[in-house]
Structure 1
Amino acid sequence: MATTRIMPLHVGKGRTESRAISEIIDYVANPQKTDHGRLITGYECDSRVADAEFMLTKRQYIAATGRVRGADDVIAYHVRQSFCPGEIIPEEANRLGVEFAKRFTKGKHAFIVCTHIDKAHVHNHIIWSSVNLDCDRKFRNFWGSTRAVHRLSDTICIENGYSIVEAPKRRGQSYNKWLGDAAKLSHKEQLRQAIDRALAQKPGNLEELLRLLEQDGFTVHRRGKTISISAEGWGNNVRFDRLGDGYTLDDLLAFLSGQKEHTPRKKTAVQAATPRVNLLVDIQAKLQAGKGAGYARWAKVFNLKQMAQTLNYLSEHGLLDYADLEAKTAEATVRYNALSDQIKAAEKRMAEIAVLRTHIVNYAKTRETYVAYRKAGYSKKFRQEHEEEILLHQTAKEAFNELNVKKLPTVKELQAEYAQLLADKKTAYGEYRQARTAMRELLTVKNNVDRVLTMEQTEPQQKEKDHGQR
């Protein structure tokens, strides 16, 4: 087994905090890599909205401590954990990942463990929040953390009877720097750029194009009508039909024959998202809790900025009337809850289908044995000889009764229903994330407006009270 070093997750260039953390969690929680989410485990957080919960604890930490680091702040930490191919089942790998995360963070940080099965080797992606559960301290990446990660991971493997790397190569640099600057580009992107350079020389046909690629250091492989390209250091060949629009073999032949134009792929510039509105800080409550004058000065500036963003939001969305804001907030909340219920219902049915499909297969396989058992007068000897098959058959029948299945569907029908539910869930989940963002923004804006209105009502009463005391 092997593990990599701890990787701090920063905001990054052109990204907001929420986008930075949601992007990595969307990748590691990919349903296609985690058996439709079955191999995802969350600790002290809901894995479906872990990015939002991590951001919430970070805001609570800032509100409680007043410490803001800025663009170089760490939102979360990421560790990859790999296992020897064929040595461990995915469920066991996920359990070991959870054990590693709990022991390494001492159970004081929320985390998710996503086990990927899309490669030959089963591997975990472990992401934990930089802020602890009490929201008063942050995890600090310490000197020698790489060695500590390896030691703990190896210890857990040995305790559970799995192999470890006996003499791992310790490297303190990133994978990209280790391989060189060329590794920063994917193999496909390197090949696309080479094709662009070759086409700029205006080759007359496909053979000339391939010859130019060979002069550029690439190797051309032919297998029947399939053409693939490789280069030194590449593990696998890359076929033209996997390069995307504009670079497939048909696209290149059309360009070379003058039937269409070739447009080199350009990188799209990432624009920074509009700053989100944050909740106003209750300065008086914080002062009563022991905060000092420095914190009060920071909180006043922070509140002024948040009120400016609140007003901008109200103006941009045409919600200057409080009744409109209230109605819009209620509408967003209803939509969010409806999508959440829809996703939960789909997940529940998908789980039922998975169970039902397993029992239908077991029922079909063991039906003849059970019929023979019944014809034998439920003989004890026959049961002892075929106990496993009989138990599977009886368990399947009990499951059908629990699920209130009157007529058994075919496995093909269940697979079609499961595929449709999965597609609907993916569509709904995209809408769900948008609805959640919209609802949270509206709730924050409404909360800020309510706070200001409450303060305006309280100030005249306080002045009258002070005047009466004089």
Structure 2
Amino acid sequence: MAVTKIHPIKSTLKKALDYIENPAKTDEKMLVSSFACSYETADIEFELLLSQAMQKGNNLAHHLIQSFAPGETTPEQAHEIGRQLADEVLQGKYPYVLTTHIDKGHIHNHVIFCAVDMVNQRKYVSNRQSYAYIRRTSDRLCKEHGLSVVMPGQDRGKSYAEWDAHRKGTSWKAKLKIAIDAAIPQAKDFDDFLRLLQEQGYEVKRGKYVSFRAPGQERFTRCKTLGETYAEEAITERIKGRFAERKPKENRKISLRIDLENSIKAQQS
């Protein structure tokens, strides 16, 4: 079984390429390949092609992820399936870098391809129809290679990690809360806390609200959406050991009524 997702890259193209080509994740780059470009200079080659684009837009490239169930395939087979998927979907028009990551509990492919094609210098159109084609092609290739296939309508647009988290009743938010709870006792201050989260692989974004994004997660998660004890101010107080969770305000009318009833009982006794 392979679960797929795709999202655009609007900035930090080189950073994204460096991430998927990480030697620690790709068996010292033995599981890195490319088409119509060199993976070492793909960012430069993509930018040159982007400069020739007939259409303007913010997308520099697209990042396609194909995740396999644990134990269902080998790194070599997964890489070959990823190559066949990229070749069929992109039809030889878009340069791409393909890598296979083996550092997690499940093998998964990353394909980053230029947003502009080499033939007509036109932008790739990513929509429901194009994604449905990716899914159908991925499912067919998995079937041809003897792997299981996700049933139609199930878990579209999720990475395997997200699918597995949903199956187990966990989520990105649940994992982030666990990471925060583990980091707070070790942190000297809030900046040290952020450093500890980064060491766990989280990307940090500071603005009006502090947000985190785990590897493979598409969107940032704001701390304040995790609950009262995970707001920035609360985390700071927890680090200092002074946080006290607010109790619900007591209903004053009920309190007065109870006091009155107790007073009457005392007078009657």
TM range (shorter): 0.5 to 0.7
* 2:31 counterpart (39, 48, 52): 39
CA distance in 1, matches of 2:109, 2:23: 14
Aligned pair 1:112/2:38, yes or no?
A: no
| RMSD of aligned Cα (Å) | 3.1
Report deviation, 1:185.
5.5
* 1:150 counterpart (123, 129, 135): 135
Letter of the structure 2 residue corresponding to residue 5 of structure 1: K
Runs of 4 or more off by more than 6 Å in structure 1?
172-175
Report deviation, 1:163.
2.0
Q: What residue is the counterpart of 1:53 in the other structure?
A: 45
Report deviation, 1:269.
5.0
Aligned pair 1:27/2:14, yes or no?
A: no
- SS of 2:52's equivalent? helix
Report deviation, 1:161.
2.2
Q: What residue is the counterpart of 2:213 in the other structure?
A: none
Report deviation, 1:165.
2.0
CA distance in 2, matches of 1:145, 1:68: 20
Structure 1 residues 109 and 56: CA distance shift in structure 2, 3 A? same
* 1:264 counterpart (178, 190, 198): 190
| Aligned partners of 1:132 and 1:139 also within 8 Å | yes
Letter of the structure 1 residue corresponding to residue 24 of structure 2: Q
CA displacement 1:371-401 (0-9 Å, x = unmatched) = xxxxxxxxxxxxxxxxxxxxxxxxxxxxxxx
CA displacement 1:93-118 (0-9 Å, x = unmatched) = 11111110010011110011100111
- SS of 1:41's equivalent? strand
Indicate the larger mover: 39-48 or 82-91: 82-91
Report deviation, 1:33.
0.5
Give the structure-1-normalised TM-score: 0.36
| Aligned partners of 2:5 and 2:66 also within 8 Å | no
Structure 1 residues 136 and 145: CA distance shift in structure 2, 3 A? closer
- SS of 2:15's equivalent? helix
CA distance in 2, matches of 1:144, 1:162: 24
Structure 1 residues 151 and 131: CA distance shift in structure 2, 3 A? same
Q: What residue is the counterpart of 2:175 in the other structure?
A: 187
Structure 1 residues 193 and 170: CA distance shift in structure 2, 3 A? closer
Q: Relative CO higher for 1 or 2, CA cutoff 8 Å, sep ≥ 6?
A: 2
CA distance in 1, matches of 2:129, 2:84: 21
Give the structure-2-normalised TM-score: 0.61
Aligned pair 1:7/2:7, yes or no?
A: yes
- SS of 1:113's equivalent? strand
Letter of the structure 1 residue corresponding to residue 95 of structure 2: A
CA distance in 1, matches of 2:106, 2:172: 23
| Aligned partners of 2:4 and 2:156 also within 8 Å | no
Unmatched 5+ residue regions in structure 2?
Answer: 195-203, 208-269
Letter of the structure 2 residue corresponding to residue 123 of structure 1: H
Aligned pair 1:78/2:4, yes or no?
A: no
Letter of the structure 1 residue corresponding to residue 5 of structure 2: R
Structure 1 residues 186 and 29: CA distance shift in structure 2, 3 A? farther
Aligned pair 1:97/2:82, yes or no?
A: yes
CA distance in 1, matches of 2:93, 2:158: 28
Structure with max Cα Rg: 1
Q: What residue is the counterpart of 1:164 in the other structure?
A: 149
| Aligned partners of 1:57 and 1:135 also within 8 Å | no
CA distance in 2, matches of 1:87, 1:21: 31
Report deviation, 1:7.
1.2
Identity of aligned residues (%): 32
Unmatched 5+ residue regions in structure 1?
Answer: 12-19, 195-239, 252-261, 271-470
| Aligned partners of 1:6 and 1:145 also within 8 Å | no
Aligned pair 1:130/2:112, yes or no?
A: no
| Aligned partners of 1:8 and 1:76 also within 8 Å | yes
Structure 1 residues 183 and 25: CA distance shift in structure 2, 3 A? same
1:147-296 correspondence runs (5 A)? 147-167=132-152, 169-171=154-156, 187-188=175-176, 190-191=177-178, 240=182, 243=183, 247-248=185-186, 262-265=188-191, 269=206
Report deviation, 1:191.
4.9
Structure 1 residues 53 and 9: CA distance shift in structure 2, 3 A? same
| Aligned partners of 1:58 and 1:135 also within 8 Å | no
Higher helix proportion (structure 1 or 2): 1
Q: What residue is the counterpart of 1:259 in the other structure?
A: none
Higher strand proportion (structure 1 or 2): 2
Letter of the structure 2 residue corresponding to residue 76 of structure 1: A
CA distance in 2, matches of 1:192, 1:159: 40
Letter of the structure 1 residue corresponding to residue 44 of structure 2: A
User: Across the two proteins, how many residue pairs are aligned to each other?
Assistant: 190
CA distance in 1, matches of 2:128, 2:156: 14
- SS of 2:5's equivalent? coil
Report deviation, 1:6.
2.2
